[in-house]
Amino acid sequence: MARWEPNAPRRLVLAALDLFAEQGYDNTTVTQIAGRAGLTKATFFRYFPDKREVLFAGQQVHSRLLADGVSAAPDSATPLEAVAAALDALTASFTAEQREFAPRLVAVIADNPELQERATFKRAALAAALTSALAKRGVPDLTASLAADLGARAFGRAFDRWIEPSSQQTFTEIAREELQALRTATASLG
Protein backbone atom coordinates (compact mmCIF):
# COMPACT_ATOMS: atom_id res chain seq x y z
CA MET A 1 0.00 0.00 0.00
CA ALA A 2 1.14 3.56 -0.66
CA ARG A 3 2.06 5.64 2.35
CA TRP A 4 -0.39 8.19 3.75
CA GLU A 5 -0.35 11.44 1.80
CA PRO A 6 -1.12 14.62 3.75
CA ASN A 7 -4.20 16.47 2.47
CA ALA A 8 -4.55 14.15 -0.49
CA PRO A 9 -8.28 14.82 -1.13
CA ARG A 10 -7.77 18.57 -0.99
CA ARG A 11 -4.77 18.40 -3.32
CA LEU A 12 -6.72 16.25 -5.76
CA VAL A 13 -9.69 18.64 -5.77
CA LEU A 14 -7.46 21.65 -6.42
CA ALA A 15 -5.49 19.83 -9.13
CA ALA A 16 -8.73 18.73 -10.82
CA LEU A 17 -10.17 22.24 -10.78
CA ASP A 18 -6.96 23.62 -12.30
CA LEU A 19 -6.97 21.04 -15.07
CA PHE A 20 -10.69 21.34 -15.79
CA ALA A 21 -10.25 25.11 -16.13
CA GLU A 22 -7.14 24.81 -18.28
CA GLN A 23 -8.12 22.07 -20.70
CA GLY A 24 -11.79 21.28 -20.08
CA TYR A 25 -13.51 18.62 -17.99
CA ASP A 26 -13.89 16.12 -20.83
CA ASN A 27 -10.22 16.32 -21.80
CA THR A 28 -8.92 15.70 -18.29
CA THR A 29 -8.04 12.20 -17.07
CA VAL A 30 -7.66 10.79 -13.58
CA THR A 31 -3.98 10.12 -14.37
CA GLN A 32 -3.47 13.81 -15.13
CA ILE A 33 -5.25 14.90 -11.94
CA ALA A 34 -3.17 12.59 -9.77
CA GLY A 35 0.02 13.70 -11.54
CA ARG A 36 -0.75 17.40 -11.05
CA ALA A 37 -1.40 16.74 -7.37
CA GLY A 38 1.91 14.85 -7.07
CA LEU A 39 0.02 11.67 -6.17
CA THR A 40 -0.57 8.30 -7.77
CA LYS A 41 -3.67 7.12 -9.58
CA ALA A 42 -4.10 4.51 -6.82
CA THR A 43 -4.23 7.31 -4.26
CA PHE A 44 -6.87 9.09 -6.33
CA PHE A 45 -9.06 6.01 -6.32
CA ARG A 46 -8.80 5.67 -2.54
CA TYR A 47 -10.73 8.92 -2.24
CA PHE A 48 -12.89 9.21 -5.37
CA PRO A 49 -14.59 6.63 -7.64
CA ASP A 50 -14.05 8.80 -10.75
CA LYS A 51 -13.15 12.33 -11.85
CA ARG A 52 -16.75 13.51 -11.63
CA GLU A 53 -17.01 12.78 -7.93
CA VAL A 54 -14.05 15.07 -7.19
CA LEU A 55 -16.50 17.91 -7.78
CA PHE A 56 -19.09 16.54 -5.36
CA ALA A 57 -16.79 15.31 -2.64
CA GLY A 58 -18.61 17.13 0.15
CA GLN A 59 -21.94 15.40 -0.28
CA GLN A 60 -21.68 12.85 2.53
CA VAL A 61 -20.08 15.20 5.04
CA HIS A 62 -22.62 17.91 4.22
CA SER A 63 -25.52 15.50 4.63
CA ARG A 64 -24.22 14.44 8.03
CA LEU A 65 -23.74 18.03 9.22
CA LEU A 66 -27.31 18.83 8.23
CA ALA A 67 -28.72 15.76 9.95
CA ASP A 68 -26.71 16.42 13.11
CA GLY A 69 -27.78 20.08 13.09
CA VAL A 70 -31.45 19.10 12.97
CA SER A 71 -31.00 16.55 15.74
CA ALA A 72 -29.26 19.10 17.97
CA ALA A 73 -32.08 21.68 17.67
CA PRO A 74 -34.20 22.13 20.81
CA ASP A 75 -37.35 20.04 21.11
CA SER A 76 -39.41 23.22 20.93
CA ALA A 77 -38.01 24.19 17.51
CA THR A 78 -40.46 24.36 14.60
CA PRO A 79 -39.51 22.44 11.44
CA LEU A 80 -38.02 25.57 9.86
CA GLU A 81 -36.17 26.48 13.05
CA ALA A 82 -34.58 23.03 13.04
CA VAL A 83 -33.62 23.55 9.40
CA ALA A 84 -32.08 26.91 10.34
CA ALA A 85 -29.96 25.16 12.98
CA ALA A 86 -28.83 22.62 10.38
CA LEU A 87 -27.83 25.38 7.96
CA ASP A 88 -25.88 27.10 10.74
CA ALA A 89 -23.92 23.87 11.27
CA LEU A 90 -23.30 23.25 7.57
CA THR A 91 -22.35 26.80 6.58
CA ALA A 92 -19.97 27.11 9.57
CA SER A 93 -17.97 24.19 8.16
CA PHE A 94 -17.00 26.02 4.97
CA THR A 95 -13.50 27.47 4.79
CA ALA A 96 -12.05 30.56 3.13
CA GLU A 97 -10.25 28.23 0.75
CA GLN A 98 -13.52 26.62 -0.32
CA ARG A 99 -14.89 30.06 -1.00
CA GLU A 100 -11.83 30.86 -3.08
CA PHE A 101 -12.08 27.85 -5.38
CA ALA A 102 -15.91 27.81 -5.53
CA PRO A 103 -16.23 30.01 -8.65
CA ARG A 104 -14.09 27.54 -10.63
CA LEU A 105 -16.21 24.65 -9.36
CA VAL A 106 -19.40 26.45 -10.35
CA ALA A 107 -18.01 27.30 -13.81
CA VAL A 108 -17.05 23.69 -14.58
CA ILE A 109 -20.48 22.41 -13.55
CA ALA A 110 -22.34 25.14 -15.47
CA ASP A 111 -20.53 24.10 -18.63
CA ASN A 112 -21.54 20.43 -18.59
CA PRO A 113 -25.10 19.01 -18.59
CA GLU A 114 -24.00 15.73 -16.98
CA LEU A 115 -22.44 17.67 -14.11
CA GLN A 116 -25.55 19.80 -13.77
CA GLU A 117 -27.58 16.62 -13.37
CA ARG A 118 -25.14 15.41 -10.74
CA ALA A 119 -25.41 18.76 -8.94
CA THR A 120 -29.20 18.55 -8.96
CA PHE A 121 -28.89 15.08 -7.50
CA LYS A 122 -26.54 16.30 -4.77
CA ARG A 123 -29.06 18.93 -3.78
CA ALA A 124 -31.77 16.27 -3.63
CA ALA A 125 -29.49 14.14 -1.44
CA LEU A 126 -28.96 17.05 0.98
CA ALA A 127 -32.71 17.64 1.11
CA ALA A 128 -33.24 13.91 1.77
CA ALA A 129 -30.81 14.05 4.70
CA LEU A 130 -32.74 16.98 6.16
CA THR A 131 -36.08 15.28 5.55
CA SER A 132 -35.16 12.11 7.38
CA ALA A 133 -33.63 14.03 10.29
CA LEU A 134 -36.84 16.06 10.62
CA ALA A 135 -38.96 12.92 10.38
CA LYS A 136 -36.97 11.47 13.30
CA ARG A 137 -38.13 14.47 15.36
CA GLY A 138 -41.74 13.52 14.61
CA VAL A 139 -42.35 16.08 11.86
CA PRO A 140 -44.94 14.64 9.43
CA ASP A 141 -43.32 13.44 6.19
CA LEU A 142 -44.83 16.00 3.87
CA THR A 143 -44.00 18.93 6.15
CA ALA A 144 -40.50 17.54 6.70
CA SER A 145 -39.93 17.26 2.98
CA LEU A 146 -41.12 20.83 2.34
CA ALA A 147 -39.02 22.25 5.17
CA ALA A 148 -36.01 20.32 3.84
CA ASP A 149 -36.52 21.70 0.37
CA LEU A 150 -36.60 25.24 1.72
CA GLY A 151 -33.36 24.48 3.55
CA ALA A 152 -31.67 23.10 0.43
CA ARG A 153 -32.83 26.12 -1.56
CA ALA A 154 -31.63 28.55 1.09
CA PHE A 155 -28.27 26.80 1.09
CA GLY A 156 -27.91 26.97 -2.70
CA ARG A 157 -28.96 30.61 -2.90
CA ALA A 158 -26.71 31.56 0.00
CA PHE A 159 -23.77 29.73 -1.58
CA ASP A 160 -24.15 31.71 -4.80
CA ARG A 161 -24.16 34.98 -2.85
CA TRP A 162 -21.32 34.00 -0.51
CA ILE A 163 -18.89 33.22 -3.33
CA GLU A 164 -19.38 36.63 -4.94
CA PRO A 165 -16.10 38.52 -4.53
CA SER A 166 -17.99 41.56 -3.23
CA SER A 167 -19.76 39.61 -0.48
CA GLN A 168 -19.00 40.87 3.04
CA GLN A 169 -21.29 38.70 5.19
CA THR A 170 -20.54 35.26 6.57
CA PHE A 171 -22.03 32.23 4.82
CA THR A 172 -24.12 31.59 7.94
CA GLU A 173 -25.58 35.11 7.96
CA ILE A 174 -26.47 34.89 4.28
CA ALA A 175 -28.10 31.47 4.69
CA ARG A 176 -30.27 32.80 7.52
CA GLU A 177 -31.41 35.69 5.35
CA GLU A 178 -32.23 33.37 2.47
CA LEU A 179 -34.21 30.98 4.65
CA GLN A 180 -36.19 33.90 6.04
CA ALA A 181 -36.91 35.19 2.51
CA LEU A 182 -38.19 31.76 1.51
CA ARG A 183 -40.35 31.58 4.59
CA THR A 184 -41.91 34.92 3.70
CA ALA A 185 -42.47 33.85 0.08
CA THR A 186 -44.40 30.75 1.15
CA ALA A 187 -47.01 33.08 2.64
CA SER A 188 -47.79 34.52 -0.83
CA LEU A 189 -48.45 31.27 -2.68
CA GLY A 190 -52.23 31.71 -2.50
Q: Which of 118, 132, 137, 173 lies at the binding interface for its own copies (CB under 8 A)? A: 118
**How many residues bind its own copies, per CB under 8 A?**
28
80 binds its own copies (CB under 8 A): yes
CA distance 141 to 164: 35
Give the interface segment with its own copies, choosing from 17-25, 58-66, 79-87, 169-177 (CB under 8 A). 79-87
Instruction: Give the C-alpha separation, 146 to 140, whole Å.
Output: 10
Q: Which amino acid is at 168?
A: Q
- Report the residue count for the chain: 190
Q: Does 6 bind its own copies (CB under 8 A)?
A: no
User: Which stretch, 8-16, 60-68, 119-127, 169-177, contacts its own copies (CB under 8 A)?
Assistant: 119-127
CB-based contact 46:138 (threshold 8 Å): no
Contacts of 128 (CB under 8 A, 6+ apart): 63, 148
CB of 106 to its own copies, least distance (A): 17
Calculate Rg over the CA atoms of the chain: 18
109 near its own copies (CB under 8 A): no
Q: What angle do CA 166, 149, 80 make, to 5 degrees?
A: 85
Q: Residue 142 CB, nearest distance to its own copies (Å)?
A: 4
Which residues here bind its own copies, judged by CB under 8 A?
Answer: 77-81, 116-118, 120-121, 124, 140, 142-143, 145-147, 149-150, 153, 181-183, 185-186, 188-190
